[in-house]
Copies of this chain bind each other. A is one copy, B any other.
Amino acid sequence: MIKVQEQDFDIGAELASLTDGNKAVGGLGCFVGLVRDMANDEQISSMTLEHYPGMTEKQLTTIEAEARDRWPLQDVLIIHRYGRLEPGDRIVLVATTSAHREAALESCHFLIDWLKTKAPFWKLEESDSGENWVAARNSDDDAADRWDRAK
């Protein structure tokens, strides 16, 4: 399931929706990304996420299908927020469930690596020195490429 939303999410309730009543789940893997208060040695006051409505949902739906193709998953949940966030705020939740822990953990890792470089979001950080678009990192490309090679 894909949710692209401005509002915050309740981690406990979201994860419970993946496991409650499904007794075939042996493992749940989860990653939550949060806004940090420091970037490049500067104090961050806010981070605004811009996205491409329509394409975002399309891309996330494609990658959910790809994860289900690669691993024997019971369920996939991706929640990605947009709009203005502050340090400590949740940005993204990725969770997968499977009979087996390897599938849950690896698919979760795959999905967040993928989101970093291929989901149409852009981050504008605000600090004392002004506004700054977060640059893509080569290390994120490398992390995503790893999964292409493993295909």
Chain A interface (Cβ within 8 Å of chain B)?
10-13, 15-16, 19-38, 87-88, 99, 101-102, 104-105, 108-109, 112, 143
Contact = CB atoms under 8 A, between A and B. Distances in A.
Given A19-B88, A102-B143, A34 B27 contact: yes
Interface centre among A13, A16, A101 (most CB of B within 10 A): A101
B105 A101 contact: no
A69 to B, nearest CB: 21
B99 A105 contact: no
Contacts of A10: 12
A30 B102 CA distance: 13
Given A12-B10, A15-B11, A88-B19, A32 B28 contact: yes
B12 A36 contact: no
A30 B28 CA distance: 8
Given A13-B12, A15-B12, A31 B27 contact: yes
Given A12-B11, A15-B11, A36-B99, A105 B31 contact: yes
A40 B55 CA distance: 43
A20 B11 CA distance: 13
Nearest to A14: B12
A129 B27 CA distance: 25
Contacts of A11: 11-12, 15-16
